[in-house]
A = this chain, B = another copy of it.
Amino acid sequence: MHRLSEREWLAYKQKNKDRARMLISCEDRAGIVAAVSNFLFAQGANIVQSDQYTTDPETGRFFMRIEFDLVNLADRLEGLKDAFWPIAENYGMEWYLVEAKKRKKVAIFVSKEDHCLLELLWRWKSGELHADIAVVISNHEDMRETVESFGIPYHCIPVTKENKAEAEEAQLAAAQGVDLIILARYMQILSPRFLEDYAMRIINIHHSFLPAFVGAKPYEQAYRRGVKLIGATAHYVTEELDAGPIIEQDVQRVSHQEDVEMLKQLGRQVERTVLARAVGWHLEDRVLEYGNKTIVFP
Protein backbone atom coordinates (compact mmCIF):
# COMPACT_ATOMS: atom_id res chain seq x y z
CA MET A 1 0.00 0.00 0.00
CA HIS A 2 1.65 3.22 -1.04
CA ARG A 3 2.19 6.00 1.41
CA LEU A 4 -0.03 8.95 0.79
CA SER A 5 1.29 10.64 3.84
CA GLU A 6 4.76 11.44 2.59
CA ARG A 7 3.86 14.73 0.93
CA GLU A 8 1.64 15.83 3.81
CA TRP A 9 4.32 14.97 6.29
CA LEU A 10 7.02 16.90 4.42
CA ALA A 11 4.77 19.96 4.36
CA TYR A 12 4.18 19.55 8.07
CA LYS A 13 7.87 19.25 8.82
CA GLN A 14 8.71 22.26 6.70
CA LYS A 15 6.10 24.36 8.47
CA ASN A 16 7.30 23.17 11.88
CA LYS A 17 11.01 22.88 11.28
CA ASP A 18 12.03 25.30 14.04
CA ARG A 19 8.90 25.02 16.13
CA ALA A 20 9.09 23.93 19.78
CA ARG A 21 6.37 23.14 22.28
CA MET A 22 6.72 23.70 26.00
CA LEU A 23 4.41 22.51 28.74
CA ILE A 24 4.72 23.81 32.29
CA SER A 25 2.84 23.21 35.50
CA CYS A 26 3.62 24.43 39.01
CA GLU A 27 2.08 26.06 42.05
CA ASP A 28 0.72 29.45 41.04
CA ARG A 29 2.84 32.46 41.99
CA ALA A 30 3.29 35.95 40.62
CA GLY A 31 5.99 36.30 37.98
CA ILE A 32 5.93 32.92 36.29
CA VAL A 33 4.77 34.18 32.90
CA ALA A 34 7.32 36.99 33.08
CA ALA A 35 10.14 34.58 33.96
CA VAL A 36 9.32 32.19 31.13
CA SER A 37 8.78 34.84 28.50
CA ASN A 38 11.92 36.72 29.48
CA PHE A 39 13.86 33.50 29.16
CA LEU A 40 12.50 32.79 25.69
CA PHE A 41 13.04 36.37 24.56
CA ALA A 42 16.65 36.30 25.75
CA GLN A 43 17.18 33.08 23.78
CA GLY A 44 15.87 34.72 20.63
CA ALA A 45 12.67 32.67 20.46
CA ASN A 46 9.48 34.02 18.96
CA ILE A 47 6.33 32.92 20.81
CA VAL A 48 3.73 31.81 18.29
CA GLN A 49 0.99 30.69 20.62
CA SER A 50 0.73 30.59 24.36
CA ASP A 51 -2.11 29.59 26.62
CA GLN A 52 -2.16 29.68 30.35
CA TYR A 53 -4.65 28.58 32.93
CA THR A 54 -4.75 28.77 36.72
CA THR A 55 -7.11 26.51 38.63
CA ASP A 56 -7.66 28.98 41.40
CA PRO A 57 -5.89 32.34 41.76
CA GLU A 58 -3.31 32.62 44.56
CA THR A 59 -3.73 29.16 46.05
CA GLY A 60 -4.09 27.26 42.81
CA ARG A 61 -1.99 25.49 40.24
CA PHE A 62 -0.59 27.11 37.14
CA PHE A 63 -0.55 25.45 33.68
CA MET A 64 1.03 26.78 30.52
CA ARG A 65 1.51 25.65 26.95
CA ILE A 66 3.76 27.61 24.64
CA GLU A 67 4.63 27.17 20.99
CA PHE A 68 7.65 29.12 19.83
CA ASP A 69 10.00 29.30 16.85
CA LEU A 70 13.76 29.38 17.34
CA VAL A 71 16.26 29.38 14.48
CA ASN A 72 18.23 26.11 14.34
CA LEU A 73 16.05 24.59 17.01
CA ALA A 74 17.33 21.05 16.55
CA ASP A 75 20.91 22.08 17.34
CA ARG A 76 19.97 24.32 20.20
CA LEU A 77 17.39 22.20 21.99
CA GLU A 78 19.69 20.66 24.57
CA GLY A 79 21.32 23.98 25.37
CA LEU A 80 17.90 25.52 25.77
CA LYS A 81 16.88 22.87 28.26
CA ASP A 82 20.07 23.34 30.28
CA ALA A 83 19.53 27.07 30.40
CA PHE A 84 15.94 26.66 31.58
CA TRP A 85 16.74 24.41 34.56
CA PRO A 86 17.42 27.21 37.08
CA ILE A 87 14.08 28.86 36.34
CA ALA A 88 12.26 25.55 36.55
CA GLU A 89 13.92 24.82 39.89
CA ASN A 90 13.12 28.23 41.26
CA TYR A 91 9.40 27.82 40.60
CA GLY A 92 9.21 24.10 41.32
CA MET A 93 8.02 23.42 37.78
CA GLU A 94 7.16 20.18 36.10
CA TRP A 95 8.02 20.89 32.51
CA TYR A 96 8.49 19.42 29.09
CA LEU A 97 10.11 20.83 25.98
CA VAL A 98 9.96 19.14 22.60
CA GLU A 99 10.40 19.76 18.90
CA ALA A 100 7.01 19.98 17.18
CA LYS A 101 8.25 18.04 14.19
CA LYS A 102 9.49 15.09 16.26
CA ARG A 103 7.04 12.26 15.75
CA LYS A 104 6.09 10.37 18.91
CA LYS A 105 6.33 6.59 18.86
CA VAL A 106 3.10 4.83 19.70
CA ALA A 107 1.98 1.27 20.28
CA ILE A 108 -1.63 0.31 19.65
CA PHE A 109 -3.24 -2.47 21.67
CA VAL A 110 -6.26 -4.16 20.18
CA SER A 111 -8.38 -7.25 20.76
CA LYS A 112 -10.93 -8.33 18.14
CA GLU A 113 -12.91 -5.20 17.35
CA ASP A 114 -11.21 -3.28 14.55
CA HIS A 115 -13.07 0.03 14.25
CA CYS A 116 -10.79 2.13 16.47
CA LEU A 117 -7.63 0.53 15.12
CA LEU A 118 -8.68 1.14 11.52
CA GLU A 119 -9.54 4.78 12.18
CA LEU A 120 -6.05 5.33 13.60
CA LEU A 121 -4.34 3.48 10.75
CA TRP A 122 -6.39 5.38 8.21
CA ARG A 123 -5.53 8.78 9.70
CA TRP A 124 -1.92 7.74 10.02
CA LYS A 125 -1.75 6.71 6.38
CA SER A 126 -3.37 9.96 5.24
CA GLY A 127 -0.81 11.99 7.19
CA GLU A 128 -3.30 13.34 9.74
CA LEU A 129 -1.89 11.45 12.71
CA HIS A 130 1.57 12.80 13.43
CA ALA A 131 3.11 9.71 14.98
CA ASP A 132 5.16 6.64 14.19
CA ILE A 133 3.14 3.53 14.87
CA ALA A 134 5.90 1.29 16.14
CA VAL A 135 3.83 -1.80 16.73
CA VAL A 136 0.32 -3.17 17.09
CA ILE A 137 -0.04 -5.64 19.95
CA SER A 138 -3.01 -7.93 20.31
CA ASN A 139 -4.13 -10.92 22.33
CA HIS A 140 -5.60 -12.36 19.13
CA GLU A 141 -4.42 -13.07 15.59
CA ASP A 142 -7.44 -11.47 13.89
CA MET A 143 -5.93 -8.13 12.88
CA ARG A 144 -2.55 -9.39 11.66
CA GLU A 145 -3.27 -9.25 7.95
CA THR A 146 -4.82 -5.79 8.13
CA VAL A 147 -2.04 -4.31 10.23
CA GLU A 148 0.78 -5.85 8.22
CA SER A 149 -0.78 -4.57 4.99
CA PHE A 150 0.01 -1.10 6.36
CA GLY A 151 3.62 -2.14 6.82
CA ILE A 152 3.36 -2.12 10.62
CA PRO A 153 4.70 -4.96 12.83
CA TYR A 154 2.06 -7.03 14.57
CA HIS A 155 2.70 -8.92 17.80
CA CYS A 156 0.17 -11.45 18.93
CA ILE A 157 0.58 -12.08 22.65
CA PRO A 158 -2.22 -14.28 23.98
CA VAL A 159 -3.28 -13.47 27.55
CA THR A 160 -4.70 -16.01 29.96
CA LYS A 161 -5.23 -15.99 33.70
CA GLU A 162 -2.14 -18.10 34.08
CA ASN A 163 0.29 -16.24 31.85
CA LYS A 164 -0.80 -12.70 32.64
CA ALA A 165 2.53 -11.63 34.18
CA GLU A 166 4.67 -13.08 31.38
CA ALA A 167 2.29 -11.71 28.76
CA GLU A 168 2.74 -8.23 30.19
CA GLU A 169 6.50 -8.70 30.14
CA ALA A 170 6.26 -9.60 26.47
CA GLN A 171 4.02 -6.59 25.81
CA LEU A 172 6.42 -4.26 27.57
CA ALA A 173 9.27 -5.68 25.54
CA ALA A 174 7.35 -5.29 22.28
CA ALA A 175 6.37 -1.73 23.18
CA GLN A 176 9.88 -0.87 24.35
CA GLY A 177 10.60 2.83 23.95
CA VAL A 178 7.17 4.04 22.85
CA ASP A 179 5.88 7.39 24.06
CA LEU A 180 2.21 6.49 24.08
CA ILE A 181 0.08 3.38 24.31
CA ILE A 182 -3.37 3.49 22.74
CA LEU A 183 -5.93 0.94 23.89
CA ALA A 184 -8.05 0.73 20.76
CA ARG A 185 -10.69 -1.61 22.21
CA TYR A 186 -8.18 -3.75 24.08
CA MET A 187 -10.30 -5.87 26.37
CA GLN A 188 -7.74 -6.88 29.00
CA ILE A 189 -7.02 -5.11 32.27
CA LEU A 190 -3.47 -3.89 32.70
CA SER A 191 -1.63 -4.46 35.97
CA PRO A 192 -0.77 -1.59 38.34
CA ARG A 193 2.88 -2.10 37.52
CA PHE A 194 2.22 -1.69 33.81
CA LEU A 195 0.18 1.45 34.47
CA GLU A 196 2.92 2.94 36.59
CA ASP A 197 5.44 2.57 33.77
CA TYR A 198 3.18 4.51 31.44
CA ALA A 199 1.42 6.91 33.81
CA MET A 200 -0.67 9.37 31.79
CA ARG A 201 0.66 7.84 28.61
CA ILE A 202 -2.03 5.22 28.06
CA ILE A 203 -5.24 6.36 26.38
CA ASN A 204 -8.35 4.21 26.48
CA ILE A 205 -11.72 4.55 24.78
CA HIS A 206 -15.05 3.28 26.05
CA HIS A 207 -18.73 3.73 25.44
CA SER A 208 -20.62 6.22 27.62
CA PHE A 209 -24.25 6.87 28.25
CA LEU A 210 -26.37 9.37 30.14
CA PRO A 211 -26.78 7.99 32.70
CA ALA A 212 -24.06 5.38 32.88
CA PHE A 213 -25.12 1.76 32.98
CA VAL A 214 -23.12 -0.25 35.42
CA GLY A 215 -22.41 -3.92 34.83
CA ALA A 216 -22.53 -6.20 31.83
CA LYS A 217 -24.08 -5.52 28.42
CA PRO A 218 -24.35 -1.74 28.65
CA TYR A 219 -25.80 -1.37 25.14
CA GLU A 220 -28.55 -3.81 26.04
CA GLN A 221 -29.26 -1.78 29.18
CA ALA A 222 -29.23 1.48 27.23
CA TYR A 223 -31.63 -0.03 24.71
CA ARG A 224 -34.01 -1.17 27.43
CA ARG A 225 -33.98 2.27 29.00
CA GLY A 226 -34.56 3.88 25.61
CA VAL A 227 -31.72 6.39 25.74
CA LYS A 228 -31.75 9.12 23.12
CA LEU A 229 -27.98 9.68 23.10
CA ILE A 230 -25.09 7.26 23.09
CA GLY A 231 -21.55 8.43 23.58
CA ALA A 232 -17.91 7.65 24.08
CA THR A 233 -15.19 8.81 26.45
CA ALA A 234 -11.44 8.83 25.82
CA HIS A 235 -9.37 8.99 29.01
CA TYR A 236 -5.98 8.29 30.48
CA VAL A 237 -5.85 4.93 32.17
CA THR A 238 -5.40 4.84 35.93
CA GLU A 239 -5.76 2.06 38.43
CA GLU A 240 -9.43 2.73 38.99
CA LEU A 241 -10.99 1.15 35.93
CA ASP A 242 -12.55 3.61 33.45
CA ALA A 243 -12.24 6.45 35.98
CA GLY A 244 -9.07 8.17 34.79
CA PRO A 245 -8.85 11.79 33.62
CA ILE A 246 -11.21 12.42 30.69
CA ILE A 247 -9.62 13.84 27.53
CA GLU A 248 -12.61 13.94 25.19
CA GLN A 249 -16.25 12.91 24.99
CA ASP A 250 -18.91 13.03 22.32
CA VAL A 251 -22.40 11.69 21.65
CA GLN A 252 -24.59 10.53 18.81
CA ARG A 253 -28.37 10.87 18.66
CA VAL A 254 -30.42 7.66 18.50
CA SER A 255 -34.11 6.82 18.54
CA HIS A 256 -36.45 3.97 19.42
CA GLN A 257 -35.93 2.59 15.90
CA GLU A 258 -32.36 1.51 16.50
CA ASP A 259 -32.07 -2.02 17.80
CA VAL A 260 -29.14 -3.14 19.95
CA GLU A 261 -27.02 -3.95 16.89
CA MET A 262 -27.58 -0.49 15.41
CA LEU A 263 -26.78 1.13 18.76
CA LYS A 264 -23.50 -0.74 18.83
CA GLN A 265 -22.72 0.27 15.26
CA LEU A 266 -23.40 3.94 16.01
CA GLY A 267 -21.42 3.56 19.23
CA ARG A 268 -18.46 2.36 17.18
CA GLN A 269 -18.65 5.47 15.00
CA VAL A 270 -18.52 7.72 18.07
CA GLU A 271 -15.73 5.73 19.65
CA ARG A 272 -13.44 5.97 16.68
CA THR A 273 -13.97 9.72 16.30
CA VAL A 274 -13.49 10.46 19.99
CA LEU A 275 -10.39 8.28 20.32
CA ALA A 276 -8.77 9.80 17.22
CA ARG A 277 -9.42 13.32 18.53
CA ALA A 278 -7.99 12.53 21.98
CA VAL A 279 -4.90 10.88 20.51
CA GLY A 280 -4.37 13.83 18.15
CA TRP A 281 -4.45 16.30 21.05
CA HIS A 282 -2.05 14.19 23.09
CA LEU A 283 0.37 13.97 20.16
CA GLU A 284 0.27 17.76 19.80
CA ASP A 285 1.11 18.08 23.52
CA ARG A 286 -2.17 19.82 24.24
CA VAL A 287 -3.20 17.74 27.26
CA LEU A 288 -2.02 18.29 30.83
CA GLU A 289 -3.24 16.23 33.73
CA TYR A 290 -4.07 17.50 37.20
CA GLY A 291 -5.87 15.77 40.03
CA ASN A 292 -8.15 13.48 38.13
CA LYS A 293 -8.84 16.00 35.37
CA THR A 294 -7.24 17.20 32.17
CA ILE A 295 -6.45 20.64 30.89
CA VAL A 296 -6.86 20.47 27.10
CA PHE A 297 -5.26 23.55 25.57
CA PRO A 298 -6.91 24.88 22.41
Task: Give residues in A with beta carbon < 8 Å to B.
Answer: 1-2, 4, 11, 28, 30-34, 36-38, 40-41, 44-54, 57-58, 69, 114-115, 118, 122, 126, 128, 145-146, 149, 208-212, 224-229, 231, 233, 243, 245-251, 255-257, 261, 265, 269, 273, 291-296, 298
Contact = CB atoms under 8 A, between A and B. Distances in A.
A70 to B, nearest CB: 10
A51 B48 contact: no
A52 to B, nearest CB: 4
Nearest to A272: B122
A257 B53 contact: yes
Contact of A122 (B33, B53, B122, B255): B122
B41 A46 contact: no
Q: Give the oligomeric copy count.
A: 4
B226 A1 contact: no
Contacts of A225: 243, 246, 292-293
Contact of A126 (B37, B38, B115): B115
B256 A229 contact: no
SS of A interface (majority): mixed
A11 to B, nearest CB: 8
Contact of A251 (B226, B229, B265): B229
Contacts of A250: 229
A269 to B, nearest CB: 8
10 contacts: A4-B114, A28-B46, A37-B37, A47-B52, A48-B54, A48-B57, A51-B298, A210-B210, A226-B293, A251-B251
Contact of A231 (B44, B210, B243, B257): B210
A296 to B, nearest CB: 7
B34 A41 contact: yes
Given A33-B41, A128-B265, 6 more contacts: A30-B44, A210-B249, A210-B251, A211-B212, A225-B246, A226-B246
Contact of A228 (B40, B45, B229, B248): B248
A292 to B, nearest CB: 6
Contacts of A28: 46
Contacts of A210: 208-210, 212, 231, 233, 249, 251
Nearest to A28: B46
A271 to B, nearest CB: 13
Contacts of A44: 30
A149 B122 CA distance: 14
A114 to B, nearest CB: 6
A127 B198 CA distance: 35
B114 A126 contact: yes
Contacts of A296: 228, 255-256
Contacts of A4: 114
